[in-house]
């Protein structure tokens, strides 16, 4: 009995429930697999990552115009939750640079920095982004990790780096003006206040930048940011720089992350939620792509299995919990994740230890953190911004793809002139549109044999046959694609106008609808109207069945025009290729069948193909041609090449290749009946045309050539290898 291979609705529901349960109980699954011997390594790795995460959290919060403690709350809470509910054992969740910059304009649209409304909006944005991430996990969209293409991310990150660098210059210079997400506004303020730059802040920031550059040369194991911040803080104390006008970050609450509604003293309203929804979708998209891209990269290095849906769930939950406890939007940091892997992390406990260490530092060191100078943080961020730009990948895109380069450049410019949330969402939409176009529109391109004549390849540098065009179609023939296919076929014919025979290779066409059938009918009609023809090779059974049911094969194309891959070119050489062009007009040997053709290129003296009626000379059928041969004044010439003549010729015929006929035509008797034969009748037609132009009026040619003669069961002479003749 036949069994339905697809799961029933009940089975699907049960599977869905099992997936949700697996997402929720992920910490229990992780803890069951923890080995005691791995805990010391995880603790050391967590300490190393925390040493880097603390200064980064403070710096990245500064990008979003948020106080340091919100960055630290986010780094601690997101690290713990992201590790326990995520898929990657290395992924370090917390504040990241590009996401912090994306959050800034979103928050500025609803509140002013430093206000309770601003802090509430930051937390609400994280909750909304987290809900979107968890929803995507519930509907199992974890495989959609290409929401933004690589070129979009490269362009956005480069633009974000420029935003960060320009935005932090005001702290480096020690000038003060309202925060803005508009790049031109920041540049205008910097230009207007350049004379007010604070010299000591500028020296401290520049020194921090140079120290950061030097320390980064020693690799990621050295906590360069932490060293720079500690050094600059010591300088503030030792030289009394706060009294000299150097701005510091100020007091940091000495407490564990409090619930948002307690820390802000307010609850979000519907107006704020509506204002943040669209921007939060952009935050979720960028955050998920960054997190999954980082975790996939690390998983490939170690051979770990990664569940993208579980990672979406973990990132979503980390954002929700972070937002509920006075944090802001987070994602997976590639820098800190790679550091965790390099530091010998063994399990998900690394992230848990990282979060606990950050909380401990918050409780113990917060009284001393207030003296961190903003100029030093700006210097650190300028170095980080430069490191954000993947110059190697950008050069690779430019060298590889013009379209990807345009996308990357367009996203970069959009990041500079448009609101950042709109820039990243437009990049996502454009990437998805490009993906849909590339996935649904078939590729149509000419192919030629490779130098070994074993495979057909696409190589515009190789010569093409002037008579026969081979076009490969890869993709469905459906209503959305027929215009594209017709345009490509038309472009190919315009480029190679002499190709009157078209072969469509359709082994990669898996479906065809009525629009595709009509497109094929139109193509066949076009080629036949100009004296050519169309053939199909490697036709797949489902598509062939559709073409049969529609009547296309029997009523339009003809079953003899569906050819097998093997022998197709040989068949076309016998029935469609004009040997005259091969011998006298084409210098190339495109196909293996061309190798035995003698080439005699005559340049401007090549006889043209007849364009009108042949006048007094006629192409006659084989039976009538045989009667004309019996006339006493008849002269019978075979205008083919010697090798062709030896394979099969009419008894009594004299070999006179077309090249020799052109040279000796003036010596032929004009009072006798000249009969010409060739393989298919085409070369004879050309010879008749030339002779008629010279004044000959007693002419006749064999219609259909030797092929028609043999089809009529008339005898031919075949020469064997020893030179003797056999009559058949």
Tell me, what CATH number does 623's domain have? 3.40.250.10
Residue 143's pLDDT band, with cuts at 50, 70 and 90, is low
Considering the domain architecture, whether residues 106 and 154 belong to the same structural domain is answered as: yes
Cβ contact 98:111 at 8 Å: no
Q: Residues of the chain with pLDDT > 90: what percent?
A: 38
Q: Which is nearest to 70 in space by CA: 282, 242, 275, 249?
A: 249
DSSP conformation class of 478: S
Residue 613's pLDDT band, with cuts at 50, 70 and 90, is very low
Considering the domain architecture, whether residues 452 and 427 belong to the same structural domain is answered as: no
Residue 261 pLDDT > 80: yes
Last residue of a domain, one of 381, 403, 433: 433
Cβ contact 635:669 at 8 Å: yes
Stretch 353-369: mean pLDDT, rounded? 91
Residue 292's pLDDT band, with cuts at 50, 70 and 90, is confident
Contacts of 25 (CB under 8 A, 6+ apart): none
Considering the domain architecture, whether residues 543 and 684 belong to the same structural domain is answered as: no
Residue 409 pLDDT > 80: yes
678 is catalytic: yes
Considering the domain architecture, whether residues 398 and 252 belong to the same structural domain is answered as: yes
Structural domain includes residue 575? no
Residue 396 pLDDT > 60: yes
Mean pLDDT, the chain, integer? 86
Backbone angles phi, psi at 645, to 5 degrees: -60, -40
* Burial zone of 220 (CB within 10 Å; 0-12 exposed, 13-18 middle, 19+ buried): middle
Q: Which residues pair with 471 in a beta bridge?
A: 446, 504
What is the pLDDT, as a whole number, of residue 78? Answer: 97
Residue 8's pLDDT band, with cuts at 50, 70 and 90, is low
What is the pLDDT, as a whole number, of residue 342? Answer: 77
What is the pLDDT, as a whole number, of residue 1? Answer: 36
Last residue of a domain, one of 569, 592, 618: 569
What is the pLDDT, as a whole number, of residue 315? Answer: 95
What is the pLDDT, as a whole number, of residue 726? Answer: 62
Per-residue pLDDT of 219-251, as tens digits, reads 766 788 889 988 999 999 999 998 999 988 888
Structural domain includes residue 583? no
Structural domain includes residue 2? no
Strands of the sheet with 443-446, listed across from one edge: 443-446, 468-474, 501-508, 533-537, 562-563
**Strand segments (E) across 74-171:** 92-94
Considering the domain architecture, whether residues 398 and 466 belong to the same structural domain is answered as: no
Structural domain includes residue 149? yes
Residue 303 pLDDT > 90: no
3-state percent helix, strand, coil for the chain, nearest multiple of 5: 60, 10, 30
Residue 553's pLDDT band, with cuts at 50, 70 and 90, is very high
Structural domain includes residue 274? yes
In the chain, how many domains are there? 3
Stretch 54-70: mean pLDDT, rounded? 91
Per-residue pLDDT of 658-669, as tens digits, reads 888 888 888 899
Q: Is 619 helix (H, G, I), strand (E, B) or coil?
A: strand
Structural domain includes residue 638? yes
What is the pLDDT, as a whole number, of residue 4? Answer: 43
Considering the domain architecture, whether residues 156 and 249 belong to the same structural domain is answered as: yes
Stretch 150-157: mean pLDDT, rounded? 81
Bridge pairing between strands 443-446 and 468-474: antiparallel
Q: Is 226 helix (H, G, I), strand (E, B) or coil?
A: helix
- Catalytic one among 512, 586, 594, 678? 678
Considering the domain architecture, whether residues 420 and 456 belong to the same structural domain is answered as: no
Q: Which is nearest to 474 in space by CA: 464, 461, 484?
A: 484
Residue 11's pLDDT band, with cuts at 50, 70 and 90, is low
Supply the CATH number for residue 510's domain: 3.30.750.24
Structural domain includes residue 163? yes
Q: Per mean pLDDT, which range of 495-499, 576-580, 595-599 is the poorest?
A: 595-599
Residue 616's pLDDT band, with cuts at 50, 70 and 90, is very low
Measure the CA–CA gap between 222 and 218, rounded to whole angstroms.
6
Q: Which residue has the higher pLDDT, 13 or 131?
A: 131
Tokens standing for residue 552? 């296309």
Last residue of a domain, one of 401, 433, 465: 433
Q: Per mean pLDDT, which range of 58-62, 171-175, 436-440, 532-536 is the poorest?
A: 436-440
What is the pLDDT, as a whole number, of residue 446? Answer: 92
Backbone angles phi, psi at 314, to 5 degrees: -65, -45
Residue 602 pLDDT > 70: no
What is the pLDDT, as a whole number, of residue 612? Answer: 44
pTM of the model: 0.62
Considering the domain architecture, whether residues 288 and 189 belong to the same structural domain is answered as: yes
Measure the CA–CA gap between 230 and 376, rounded to whole angstroms.
10
Measure the CA–CA gap between 241 and 204, rounded to whole angstroms.
10
CB atoms < 10 A from the CB of 564, how many?
10
Stretch 269-280: mean pLDDT, rounded? 92
Q: Per mean pLDDT, which range of 47-56, 259-268, 623-632 is the poorest?
A: 47-56
Residue length, the chain? 728
What is the pLDDT, as a whole number, of residue 614? Answer: 45
Considering the domain architecture, whether residues 289 and 243 belong to the same structural domain is answered as: yes
Residue 610 pLDDT > 60: no
Residue 147 pLDDT > 80: no
Considering the domain architecture, whether residues 36 and 126 belong to the same structural domain is answered as: yes
What is the pLDDT, as a whole number, of residue 186? Answer: 87
Per-residue pLDDT of 93-131, as tens digits, reads 999 988 998 899 999 999 999 999 999 999 999 999 999
Considering Cα of 25, then 27, then 30, then 35, what sign does the dihedral take?
A: negative
Residue 522 pLDDT > 80: yes
What is the pLDDT, as a whole number, of residue 132? Answer: 94
Considering the domain architecture, whether residues 428 and 468 belong to the same structural domain is answered as: no
Q: Per mean pLDDT, which range of 63-72, 236-245, 424-433, 486-495 is the poorest?
A: 424-433
What is the pLDDT, as a whole number, of residue 328? Answer: 97
What is the pLDDT, as a whole number, of residue 611? Answer: 43
Stretch 507-513: mean pLDDT, rounded? 89
Considering the domain architecture, whether residues 482 and 370 belong to the same structural domain is answered as: no
What is the pLDDT, as a whole number, of residue 68? Answer: 92
Which residue reads 């519930």 in tokens?
Answer: 138
Tokens standing for residue 82? 């992201």
Stretch 558-574: mean pLDDT, rounded? 88
Q: Is 563 helix (H, G, I), strand (E, B) or coil?
A: strand
Structural domain includes residue 439? no
What is the pLDDT, as a whole number, of residue 250? Answer: 81
Measure the CA–CA gap between 520 and 526, rounded to whole angstroms.
10
**CA angle, residues 495, 497, 503, in degrees to nearest 5:** 90
What is the pLDDT, as a whole number, of residue 370? Answer: 84
Q: Per mean pLDDT, which range of 124-128, 165-169, 540-544, 604-608 is the poorest?
A: 604-608
What is the pLDDT, as a whole number, of residue 600? Answer: 63
Measure the CA–CA gap between 229 and 241, rounded to whole angstroms.
14
Q: What range does the domain containing 510 cover?
A: 444-569
Cβ contact 205:425 at 8 Å: no
């Amino acid at each position: 009995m036949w069994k339905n291979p697809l799961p029933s609705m009940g089975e699907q529901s049960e599977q869905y429930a099992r997936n949700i349960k697996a997402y929720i109980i992920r910490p229990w699954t992780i803890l069951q697999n923890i080995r005691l011997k791995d805990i010391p390594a995880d603790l050391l790795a967590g300490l190393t990552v925390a040493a880097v995460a603390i200064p980064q959290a403070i710096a990245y919060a500064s990008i979003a115009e948020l106080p340091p403690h919100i960055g630290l709350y986010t780094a601690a809470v997101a690290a713990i939750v992201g590790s326990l509910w995520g898929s990657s054992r290395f992924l370090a969740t917390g504040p990241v640079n590009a996401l912090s910059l994306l959050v800034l304009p979103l928050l500025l649209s609803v509140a002013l920095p430093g206000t309770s409304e601003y802090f509430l909006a930051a937390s609400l944005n994280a909750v909304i982004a987290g809900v979107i991430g968890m929803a995507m996990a519930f509907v199992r969209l974890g495989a959609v990790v290409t929401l933004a293409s690589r070129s979009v991310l490269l362009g956005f990150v480069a633009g974000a780096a420029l935003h960060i660098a320009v935005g932090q210059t005001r702290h480096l210079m020690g000038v003060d003006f309202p925060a803005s997400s508009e790049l031109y506004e920041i540049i205008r303020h910097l230009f207007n206040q350049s004379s007010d730059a604070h010299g000591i802040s500028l020296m401290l920031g520049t020194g921090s930048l140079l120290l950061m550059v030097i320390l980064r040369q020693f690799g990621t194991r050295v906590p360069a940011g932490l060293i720079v911040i500690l050094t600059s803080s010591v300088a503030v104390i030792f030289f009394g720089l706060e009294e000299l006008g150097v701005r510091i970050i100020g007091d940091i609450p000495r407490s564990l992350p409090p619930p948002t509604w307690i820390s802000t003293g307010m609850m979000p309203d519907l107006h704020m939620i509506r204002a943040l929804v669209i921007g939060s979708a952009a935050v979720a998209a960028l955050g998920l792509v960054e997190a999954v891209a980082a975790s996939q990269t690390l998983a490939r290095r170690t051979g770990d299995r990664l569940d993208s849906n579980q990672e979406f769930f973990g990132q979503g939950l980390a954002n929700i919990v972070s937002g509920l406890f006075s944090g802001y939007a987070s994602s997976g940091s590639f820098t800190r994740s790679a550091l965790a892997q390099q530091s010998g992390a063994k399990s998900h406990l690394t992230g848990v230890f990282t979060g606990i260490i950050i909380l401990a530092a918050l409780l113990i060191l917060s009284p001393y953190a207030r003296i961190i100078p903003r100029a030093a943080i700006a210097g650190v961020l300028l170095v980080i911004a430069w490191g954000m730009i993947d110059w190697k990948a950008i050069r690779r895109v430019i060298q590889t793809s013009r379209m990807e380069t345009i996308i990357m450049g367009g996203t970069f410019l959009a990041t500079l002139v448009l609101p950042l949330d709109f820039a990243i969402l437009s990049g996502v939409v454009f990437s998805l549109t490009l993906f849909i176009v590339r996935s649904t529109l078939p590729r149509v391109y000419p192919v030629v044999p490779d130098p070994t004549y074993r495979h057909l390849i696409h190589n515009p540098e190789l010569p093409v046959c002037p008579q026969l065009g081979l076009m490969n179609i890869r993709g469905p023939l459906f209503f959305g694609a027929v215009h594209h296919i017709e345009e490509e076929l038309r472009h190919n014919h315009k480029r190679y106008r002499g190709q009157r025979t078209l072969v469509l290779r359709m082994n990669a066409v898996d479906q065809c609808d009525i629009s595709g059938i009509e497109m094929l009918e139109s193509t066949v009609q076009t080629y036949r109207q100009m004296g050519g023809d169309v053939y199909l090779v490697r036709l797949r059974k489902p598509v062939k069945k559709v073409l049969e049911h529609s009547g296309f094969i029997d009523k339009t194309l003809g079953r003899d025009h569906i050819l097998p891959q093997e022998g197709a070119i040989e068949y076309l050489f016998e029935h469609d290729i004009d040997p005259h062009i091969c011998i006298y007009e084409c210098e190339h040997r495109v196909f293996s069948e061309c190798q035995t053709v003698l080439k005699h290129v005559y340049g401007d003296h090549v006889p043209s193909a007849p364009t009108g009626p042949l006048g007094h000379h006629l192409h006659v059928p084989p039976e009538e041609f045989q009667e004309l041969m019996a006339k006493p004044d008849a002269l019978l010439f075979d205008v083919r090449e010697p090798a062709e003549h030896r394979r099969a010729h009419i008894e009594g015929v004299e070999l006179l290749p077309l090249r020799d006929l052109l040279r000796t035509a003036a010596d032929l008797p004009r009072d006798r009946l000249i009969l010409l034969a060739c393989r298919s009748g085409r070369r004879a037609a050309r010879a008749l045309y030339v002779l008629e132009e010279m004044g000959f009026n007693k002419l006749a040619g064999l219609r259909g050539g030797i092929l028609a003669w043999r089809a009529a069961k008339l005898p031919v002479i075949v020469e064997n290898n020893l030179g003797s003749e056999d009559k058949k």
